[in-house]
C-alpha cells in the first residue's frame, strides 16, 4: 500500500465505526505483509484496492414512489427548508443526491460523466435541462444531513416519469450500496402495478427497503388505518415484508428523520465488506503457508510443483478457448428461450395492456416497457447464473486434474481449488453488488452479474422499443368511436403487431448482447482461477529464489513467516469476527 494511503487520516467526519475498524485492520495487515510479499504485487495491490473501496464507499438512501407521492415534499420537511422543487413535470424529473456541506451548491453530473457546478438556487433551471444530466448532487448546509452521515438521501424521479429517465436513476442506485424508502400515496389506496414491479426488481437485486404511506392528512384516520392494513397484507403476501408501514402526513420530516437514524450504517457497511475481507485474509494465510512449505521441501520437488502450476494455467487457458469457440452454438437455445419468454409475457398480458391503454397510450407504453424489462432481467440473470455454475464446474475439473501433483508435493490443502469456486459462486449469487469494485476482484465476471445485467437490459430496451412510438400513434388514430370494440381491437394489435415486432427486434439485437455477456462471464471465471494459481506460483518461486541464496538463513525466514501468519490470523480474529 502506498505511503500516501497509509498517511491518510481516519478521523473523517463522514466515517463510521465499522469503516474505521476495517481501515485500521488493513493498515495493520499491510505492515505485516509488505516485506513478506515484497515481490508479489498482486497481493499488495488487492490490499490497496480494499483500502480505497472501504474509504470511498457511500451508503445511499433513495426515496422512490409515484410522481405525486410526495417525495420532494417529505425531504423538504426533513430539511426544514424548500430546497427541492415540488412542481416538477414528470419529463423534467432527475435524481437528486443530498450531501452535507457548509458550501452550498449543486453539482450536475452530465451524461458523459462530467461535472458542472451551479448555485443552489438554480435547481429548477437544471430540471428543465434534465436530458443533459444523469443526476444532481445538492450540497446543503443542514445539521440534519450532517447527523445522518455517511447516509446520503436521494430524491428519485417518480414512476410516472418517462421510463428512460426513471430507469437511468434506478439503475444508478441498484449498482450502489442502497436502502430504499418507498412512498405509497394514500390517494392510490393500494400498491399500483408499476410500484409492485419496482419492488420486485429491488428484491431481485437484494436491496432492502422501508415502506411509508404518504399524504395521510388527506384521508380520515379510520380510512388511513384500513388502507394501511390492506397494503401491509399485500406486501406480506407478495414480498414477505412484515415490518410496519410508516404513516406520513404533510409534515413528515420528523418521521423521515426517525427512519434514517434507525438505519445502522455499521451493519450496512459490515454486510458490504466483511466477506471480502475474510477471503482476502485467508488468501494471505494460504500464500504464507505456500512459502513455508517451499522452505520445507526439497528443491527438485518445488521445481516440479512450479512446472505443474504453469501447466495448470496453460490448461485453463486451453479450456477457456475451447468453451469460447462453441459459445454461439451453446447459447442458441438460451437465446431462443429468453426471447420467447418476453414475447409470451406481452401476449398473455395483451388484454390487460389494452384495457389500460385504450385511453392512455403513455400508460400502455410504460406498462409494456416495464414488462419487457422485468422479464428480461429475471430470465437473463437466471440463465447467466446457470451457465456460470456449469462453466465453474468445467474449470474446477481441469484445475483438479492438472494441479493434484503440485498440491500433493507441496502439502497444499486440496481446499485451495474449492476456495476459488466458492469465490466465483459468491460473485454469481450476490447480484446486488458491483463485485468488480465492492465484493471481488473478479471484474469481468462481476460486471455481468450486477451492473452488466442492468447495462445489458438498457441496451436492449434502447434498441428494441423505439418501434412502439409508431404503433402507439396507430392506436391513437384508431381509437375513435367508430370501432365496434376498441379494446378488443387494441388487444389484437398488441398480440399481432407489438409481439411480432418485438420478437423481430429482439432476434436482431439480443444474440450479440447475450453472447457478449456469457463471453465476459467465462473469461472472468477463467481469469479468477488463473490469478489464484499464479499467486501461489509467485509465492513459491519467490521463496525458492531466496532459499538458493548462499547467505539465506532458512530458520530465521521460517520464524519470520510463522510470526506473520500468526499475526494475520490474530488480526482476523480481532477485527473481522467481532459483532457489528
Q: How far is CA 22 from CA 33, 268, 281, 352, 482, in A?
A: 16, 13, 12, 52, 70
Chain centroid to CA 335: how far?
24
Alpha carbons 503 and 486: distance in angstroms, whole number: 24
251 plus 378 within the same structural domain? no
Residue 352 lies in a domain: yes
**What percentage of the chain reaches a pLDDT higher than 90?**
24
3 state DSSP class of 386: helix
**63 DSSP assignment:** E
Q: For 474-508, what is each residue's pLDDT tens digit?
A: 555 554 445 567 888 888 888 888 888 888 888 88
pLDDT digits (tens, 9 = 90+) for 252-272: 788 888 888 888 888 888 888
Residue 6 has pLDDT above 50, yes or no: no
pLDDT digits (tens, 9 = 90+) for 319-348: 999 999 998 898 999 999 999 999 999 999
Predicted confidence at residue 450, as pLDDT, reads 38
- Judge if 234 and 312 occupy the same domain: no
Q: Which of 245, 263, 281 is the last residue of a domain?
A: 263
Segment among 152-166, 216-230, 552-566 with least mean pLDDT? 152-166
Task: Specify if 520 maps to a domain.
Answer: yes
DSSP secondary-structure letter at 131?
G
Check whether residue 389 and residue 525 sit in a common domain. Answer: yes
Region of poorest pLDDT, from 173-177, 267-271, 517-521: 173-177
Query: Is 422 a member of any domain?
Result: yes
Quote the CA–CA distance of 507 and 344 in Å, as a whole number. Answer: 14
C-beta atoms surrounding 232 within 10 Å: 17
State residue 100 phi and psi, 5-degree precision.
Answer: -80, 135
Last residue of one domain, picked from the residues 263, 280, 305: 263
pLDDT of residue 259: 87
C-alpha 499/C-alpha 479 separation (Å) is 20
The answer to whether residues 243 and 317 belong to one domain is no
Q: Are strands 177-185 and 208-214 parallel, antiparallel or unpaired?
A: parallel
pLDDT-based confidence at residue 160 (cuts at 50, 70, 90): low
The residues, any chain, with a CB within 8 Å of residue 70's CB and separated by 6 or more, are 183, 185, 214, 215, 248, 252
Same domain for 309 and 198, yes or no, is: no
Angle between helix 361-409 and helix 299-325 axes, rounded to 10 deg:
150
User: Who has greater pLDDT, 145 or 422?
Assistant: 145
Mean pLDDT of 174-198: 82
DSSP E strand stretches across 246-305: 246-247
Write out the three cell numbers for 127.
430540471
> Are residues 250 and 341 both part of a single domain?
no
Q: CA 279 to CA 11: how far, in whole Å?
A: 27
Q: With contact defined as beta carbons under 8 Å apart, do 468 and 459 qualify?
A: no
Question: Is residue 258 located within the same domain as residue 113?
Answer: yes
Same domain (yes/no): 507, 426: yes
Q: Are residues 250 and 302 in the same domain?
A: no
Same domain, 339 and 253: no
Does residue 188 belong to any structural domain of this protein?
yes
Question: Looking only at Cα atoms, what is the longest distance across the chain?
Answer: 99
527 vs 485, residue with greater confidence: 527
Residue matched to cell numbers 401491509: 232
The residue with greater pLDDT, 6 or 519, is 519
Based on the fold, state whether residues 177 and 64 are members of the same structural domain: yes
CATH number at residue 86: 3.40.50.300
CA 150 distance to own-chain centroid: 19
pLDDT digits (tens, 9 = 90+) for 382-409: 888 888 888 888 988 888 887 777 777 7
Degrees, nearest 5: CA angle 98-80-75: 45
Residue 186 per-residue DSSP state = T
* Inter-CA distances, 320 with 72, 80, 92, 327, 520, Å: 51, 58, 47, 10, 11
Rounded CA gap, 366 and 167, in Å? 11
Q: Report the C-alpha gap between 87 and 444 in whole angstroms.
A: 43
Give the chain's domain count. 2
Residue 367: half-sphere exposure toward Cβ, Cα within 13 Å: 21
Full domain range(s) for residue 420: 297-538
Q: In whole angstroms, what is the distance from residue 420 CA to residue 254 CA?
A: 48
pLDDT of residue 10: 37
Is the residue at 358 inside a domain?
A: yes
* pTM, rounded to two decimals: 0.72
Asked whether residue 572 is assigned to any structural domain, the reply reads no
Q: Are 82 and 227 in the same domain?
A: yes
What is the DSSP secondary structure assignment for residue 157, as one 8-state letter?
P
Average pLDDT, the chain: 80
Q: 46 lies in a domain? A: no
Q: Is residue 291 part of a domain?
A: no
Res 117: pLDDT: 94
Q: Give the gyration radius of the chain's Cα atoms.
A: 28
Among residues 263, 288, 311, which one ends one of the domains?
263
Amino acid at each position: 500500500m502506498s505511503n500516501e494511503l497509509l498517511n491518510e487520516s481516519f478521523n473523517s467526519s463522514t466515517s463510521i465505526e465499522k469503516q474505521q475498524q476495517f481501515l485500521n485492520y488493513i493498515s495493520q495487515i499491510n505492515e505485516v505483509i509488505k516485506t513478506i510479499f515484497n515481490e508479489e504485487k498482486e497481493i499488495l495491490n488487492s490490499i490497496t484496492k480494499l483500502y480505497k473501496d472501504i474509504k470511498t464507499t457511500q451508503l445511499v438512501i433513495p426515496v422512490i414512489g409515484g410522481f405525486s407521492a410526495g417525495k420532494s415534499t417529505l425531504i423538504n420537511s426533513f430539511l426544514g427548508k424548500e430546497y427541492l422543487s415540488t412542481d416538477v413535470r414528470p419529463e423534467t424529473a432527475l435524481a437528486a443526491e443530498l450531501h452535507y456541506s457548509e458550501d452550498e451548491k449543486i453539482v450536475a453530473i452530465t451524461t458523459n460523466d462530467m461535472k458542472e457546478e451551479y448555485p443552489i438556487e438554480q435547481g429548477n433551471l437544471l430540471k428543465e435541462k434534465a436530458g443533459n444530466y444523469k443526476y444532481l448532487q445538492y450540497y446543503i448546509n443542514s445539521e440534519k444531513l450532517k447527523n445522518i452521515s455517511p447516509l446520503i438521501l436521494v430524491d428519485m424521479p417518480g414512476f410516472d416519469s418517462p421510463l428512460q429517465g426513471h430507469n437511468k436513476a434506478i439503475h444508478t442506485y441498484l449498482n450502489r450500496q442502497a436502502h430504499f424508502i418507498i412512498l405509497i400515496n394514500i390517494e392510490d389506496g393500494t400498491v399500483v402495478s408499476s410500484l409492485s414491479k419496482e419492488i420486485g426488481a429491488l428484491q431481485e437485486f437484494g436491496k432492502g427497503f422501508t415502506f411509508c404511506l404518504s399524504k395521510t392528512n388527506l384521508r380520515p384516520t379510520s380510512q388511513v388505518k384500513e388502507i394501511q392494513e390492506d397494503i401491509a397484507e399485500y406486501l406480506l403476501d407478495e414480498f414477505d415484508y412484515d415490518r410496519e408501514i410508516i404513516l406520513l402526513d404533510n409534515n413528515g420530516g420528523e418521521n423521515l428523520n426517525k427512519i434514517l437514524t434507525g438505519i445502522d450504517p455499521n451493519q450496512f457497511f459490515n454486510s458490504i465488506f466483511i466477506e471480502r475481507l475474510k477471503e482476502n485474509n485467508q488468501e494471505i494465510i494460504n500464500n504464507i503457508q505456500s512459502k513455508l512449505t517451499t522452505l520445507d521441501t526439497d528443491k527438485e520437488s518445488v521445481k516440479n510443483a512450479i512446472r505443474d502450476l504453469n501447466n495448470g494455467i496453460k490448461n485453463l487457458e486451453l479450456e477457456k478457448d475451447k468453451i469460447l469457440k462453441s459459445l454461439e452454438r451453446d447459447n442458441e437455445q438460451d437465446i431462443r428461450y429468453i426471447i420467447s419468454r418476453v414475447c409470451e409475457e406481452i401476449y398473455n398480458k395483451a388484454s390487460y395492456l389494452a384495457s389500460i391503454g385504450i385511453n392512455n397510450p403513455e400508460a400502455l407504453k410504460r406498462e409494456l416497457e416495464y414488462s419487457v424489462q422485468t422479464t428480461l432481467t429475471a430470465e437473463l440473470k437466471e440463465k447467466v447464473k446457470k451457465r456460470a455454475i456449469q462453466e465453474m464446474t468445467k474449470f474446477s475439473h481441469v484445475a483438479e486434474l492438472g494441479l493434484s501433483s503440485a498440491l500433493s508435493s507441496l502439502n497444499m490443502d486440496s481446499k485451495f481449488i474449492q476456495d476459488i469456486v466458492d469465490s466465483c459462486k459468491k460473485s454469481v449469487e450476490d447480484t446486488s453488488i458491483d463485485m468488480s469494485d465492492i465484493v471481488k476482484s473478479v471484474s469481468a465476471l462481476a460486471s455481468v452479474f450486477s451492473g452488466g445485467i442492468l447495462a445489458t437490459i438498457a441496451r436492449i430496451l434502447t434498441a428494441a422499443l423505439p418501434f412502439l412510438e409508431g404503433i402507439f400513434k396507430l392506436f391513437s388514430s384508431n381509437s375513435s368511436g367508430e370501432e365496434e370494440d376498441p379494446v378488443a381491437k387494441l388487444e389484437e394489435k398488441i398480440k399481432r403487431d407489438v409481439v411480432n415486432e418485438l420478437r423481430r427486434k429482439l432476434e436482431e439485437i439480443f444474440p450479440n448482447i447475450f453472447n457478449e455477456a456469457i463471453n465476459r462471464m467465462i473469461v472472468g471465471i477463467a481469469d479468477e482461477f488463473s490469478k489464484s494459481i499464479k499467486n501461489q506460483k509467485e509465492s513459491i518461486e519467490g521463496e525458492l529464489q531466496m532459499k538458493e541464496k548462499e547467505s539465506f538463513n532458512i530458520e530465521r525466514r521460517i520464524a519470520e513467516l510463522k510470526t506473520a501468519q500468526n499475526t494475520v490470523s490474530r488480526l482476523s480474529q480481532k477485527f473481522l469476527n467481532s459483532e457489528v
